[in-house]
Amino acid sequence: MPPIHTATNAPLPLLRVRDLHVAFKMDEGTVHAVDGLSFDVSPGQVVGIVGESGCGKSVTMKAILQLIEPPGRIVSGEILYTHDNATIDLTRLPPRGSAMRALRGAEIALIPQEPMAAFSPVHTVGEQIVEAIRLHETSNGQPISRREARARTIELFRDVGIAIPEQRVDAYSWQLSGGLRQRAMIAMALSCRPRLLIADEPTTAIDVTTQAQILALLRDLQRKYDTAIIFITHDLGVIAQMANHVVVMYLGRVMEEGTVDEIFHAPKHPYTRALLRSMPSMHGETQVALPIISGALPHPFNRPSGCPFHPRCPDAIPDRCAARVPLPIEVEPNRIVSCFLYHDEAEAR
């Protein structure tokens, strides 16, 4: 069994992902993109999911939004979304059904990596946001008026720091700079006041000085609206600046989970420790060999047996780590580690 957070009497988390498995069945074999993932997101919390390519972080985002396309499929597990004391399992909703469509964009919104691809080039950004608002928001059972939705869009643009919003609302996405486009995307994601925002590498495609602006904006908006955010990125610097709680993933599994301070100042899993060491810093010694993680990410059809990290792990225990898969176990309160250095609980396979 995957670990269950045993918070007694506390309000239920907004989102609980439980033992999620997502697989892509292809001619050459099956890719287990997400392999037994569990984590919680509480209201107003910023959970960072960090990992390198192929760790399953983007597939997790798609699974929550029910956007997995064939040959991919949610094989098992639960994604429990709690709202007004009612809990629904998103994996049981038909992806194209009305219930999921009412949630997607309204309760759970996405800030994608590449806003150029996310906006349609043949409609103005304003029209697209107005459409989203009118789709989800009603007053007295009727969709709100176009004029009201437009006024709200202009207000949102002002909120996300777009200058002269009355004009920009009529711009096409290709007329905006990368930074403005990402701000417009954030405005769209916030347009229906979601409870949960999923930001999938929202600043990876933009420059550092613009990135700093966007991160500051997201932090301000998060405080203002108390939205819960799942922040997905490969950039440890961005995670350190944005998240309260961090989930470190490798090959579809959680390696370690804890508060952002614990992950950066007291990492437990050898993978997290090696990852932090291998980054060139703004303060360390220069022009010397950096500590490396040996080897390469294995090919997705070629998953190692046992712990997925054991072939690259400096602390691997011979026989043990290659033979059994360590479970994510709560070794201290709210501190989860999947590693035999800390416990002996293995998956029964």
Partner 1 sequence: MSAAPLLDVRGLRKYFPIAKGFLQRVAGQVRAVDDVSFTVNEGETLGLVGESGCGKTTVSRCILRAIDPTSGQVLYRTRDDRVVDLAPMSRQDLAPFRKEIQMIFQDPFGSLNPRMTLLDNVGEPLLVNGVRSRKQRMERVAELLRLVGLRPEFMHRFPHAFSGGQRQRIGIARALATNPRLVVADEPVSALDVSVQAQVLNLLLELQQSLRLTFLFVAHDLSVVRHIADRVAVMYVGQLVELAPTSAVFERPYHPYTAALMRAVPVPDPRVRNDDGILRGEVPSPAAPPPGCYFHPRCRFAEDRCRVEAPTLREIVPGRFARCHFAGELEL
Q: By CB under 8 A, name the one of 210, 311, 341, 342 that touches partner 1.
A: 210
Please give the structure tokens belonging to residue 26. Answer: 């292809």
Site string for partner 1, 272-311 (x = CB under 8 A): --xxx-xxxxx-x-xxxxxxxx--xx-x------------
Confirm if 22 and 74 have CB atoms less than 8 A apart: yes
Q: Closest distance between partner 1 and the C-beta of residue 51, in Å?
A: 9
| Residues forming a β-bridge with 46 | 229
Residue whose CB is less far from partner 1, 65 or 246: 246
CB 111, CB 191: distance < 8 Å: no
CA–CA dist 64, 195 (Å, integer): 14
Q: Nearer Cβ to partner 1, position 124 or 241?
A: 241
**Which ranges constitute the DSSP H helices of the chain?**
57-64, 98-103, 115-118, 125-136, 146-159, 165-168, 178-190, 208-225, 236-242, 260-265, 270-277, 320-323
In the list 90, 93, 215, 325, the residue contacting partner 1 (rule: CB under 8 A) is 215
Name which of residues 221 to 260 contact partner 1 (CB under 8 A). Answer: 234-241, 243, 260
DSSP per-residue string spanning 160-187: TT-SSHHHHTT-BGGGS-HHHHHHHHHH
By CB under 8 A, name the one of 21, 24, 52, 311 that touches partner 1: 52
Can you tell me which residue has the tokens 């060491």? 277
What is residue 113's three-state secondary structure?
coil
Q: Per CB under 8 A, which of residues 145..204 are in contact with partner 1?
A: 177, 179-180
Least spacing, CB of residue 226 vs partner 1, in Å: 18
Contacts with partner 1: how many residues (CB under 8 A)? 49
Nearer of residues 102 and 279 to partner 1, judged by Cβ: 279
Among positions 93-132, residues that touch partner 1 (CB under 8 A) are: none
Strands 108-111 and 196-200: parallel
Residues in contact with partner 1 by the rule CB under 8 A: 52-53, 177, 179-180, 207-213, 215-216, 219, 234-241, 243, 260-261, 264-265, 274-276, 278-282, 284, 286-293, 296-297, 299, 312
